[in-house]
Structure 1
Amino acid sequence: MAPVETQKVWAIHQSRGTVDKQLEPNFRNEKFIDDNRKHLMTVLDISTFCAKQDIPFRGDDESDQSLNKGKFIEILELLGNEVEIAFCYAILADEVKDASKKELLAASLRYIHKGNVRERAIGFIELRDMDVGTISEKLIELLKPFELDPLKCVGQGYDGASVMSGIHGGVQARMKGAGYRNATYVHCASHRLNLVLASTAERHPLMKSFTDISDLTYSFMNGTKRHALFIDVQDERYPNVQALELARSCSTRWSSRSLEVERFLRRFDCILDTLSIFGNDNDADTSLAAKSLLGSLQTKKFMTILVYFGKLYDYSDFWTKAFRSRQQLFLLV
């Protein structure tokens, strides 16, 4: 073994001490256990990523001098270097519901790495309550394992609900009081545009009529038997083309309405065919619902609204997507 390597091994031995010394209570403290847990979670995350992507774990040479240590170690070093190099960061968070209807807090970190914006999800955590204290506490709990300097946090982005945006009692104010005093709150410009457009549209009777009919159509097609037939009709009309699923709009996401209208326009003929078939179904309730929807969809009023909204969404989508662009400057927004 080379003299330099021998010195390294001896230094490590001196710092660790003997086995019986390492087993003393001081070496089994909470920080030691916590560090091991963080290390294990990182290893598991990278292992899961490599397994899902069917990426080989090992390289031919995993030594420090190797230029290709294998995907596992390369990814591990890449993530570590990005976090270490970043001189500042911002927190992004929003509440979401999972398939089991549990309310979750989703959080991400946004930072600059080599002149490029990076956005990395850091996890989900269940919310038992939706008050300011609970959300703030859970957000800090998500951030804690990363041991980030709170003073380097220069921004926090949430939705515009008062529980999040309140300047005195909101989550943004609570986070500043918890040490993140440089974190300026910014309400997403794209989300604001969504809220304005969605709120305006809901006040118009034509939009409400269209939304009611499209939501009923989505619910009808969501049944197992009905959905299967809808896919079969698409395969017959458009062979060798991937079948499309109908989309359901969200009241606070104008962009989701755009997708709803687009799918309706592209598969309007298939929707009519499916409803026509179920209009002759043996089940009286199914037949009645299908005939009622078919009659509503075939009116000149509905078809005019559908085409009109299709053109409207093409225009509004441009601005919604522009606000979400990575190249967009805050001052221009």
Structure 2
Amino acid sequence: MNTQSSEQILNNRLQVKTSIDVVRWLAFQGFAFRGHDETPDSKNRGNFLEMLKLLVSYNDKVGKLVLENAPKSSKYTSPKIQKEILEVLAKKVRNKIREDVGNSKFCIIVDEARDEFKRLEQMTIILRFVDDDGFIQERFFDLVHVKDILALTLKNEISAVISHHCLDIQNIYGQGYDGASNMRGEWKELQALFFKDCPYAYYVHCFAHRLQIALVVTSREAIQIAHMIAIDELESGKGINQIGTVKRADFHMQELDSRLGEGETKLLALSSALDPNDAYRSFNIDDICCLAEKYYSLDFSENEKINLRFQLKYFKVDVLTNPKFQSLSSIADLCRRLLETEK
């Protein structure tokens, strides 16, 4: 009786493990699970069931336990079971990301989209942080459905996710959103709400989105200008009204720049003083001290602020003569090398 029971337990574990392995593989590859027709007579029952069939063809022991050979009450292949396994895997991934973040500072990157199938608003939350080896990581952390896209709602939902995983909101040192026009007002208010709670949660407009807007506007206006030149309207004055096209392009670029506030623009400019490119050509002690004093004053004691200027002078001499600090191409490379050398 005990032998039979032990064998049944092992068979059950193998059956569940097979489903888990298929779910994990499909999730890792980013493949769809379901098929349009999952009936036994279908020629393509979807990736999940077809992968199970493939595993069966290579393993007779598995074949005796899954699909048609599994008990009707415990096949472990239903969409509900697939989702439950996915949820367990997602929780393990989030726990690992949380472990990697530790007590470090981190940035949040948030994007909003609408689930047209469910008619629900949703937002993705991505964490950007530096791991223990000094590498910058960006990790998709959660997908949250929200009742509306008001700034306070988004702020509360983001805070709930962060708090649920025991991350300190005070450790948020940056926030970024795509700046889409339909959400611009809400994003701006959301920035202010987080900045009120987190004094170092500086906002940076998504540079990919800035580049996209710049390219779209420039290409569109360039085509119109080329057309006017081709038909001689720019020289003859016939196209005097179309000259507004050039002005509109300039306006679009100015409007794009305005999405970064003066404070954020200054922050990015000062940060470039740490850039190791071209033999530390941008290295500027005054700018670095200003960065510490104006933007991160709570991270430095008064004595540390006073000593910082002298330390930076020694640092500059050291990095320019130390071979380990040559040929670095980014601030991230510099941070990693400082960590490796314990400077």
TM-score (norm 1): 0.37
Normalised by the size of structure 2, how large is the TM-score? 0.36
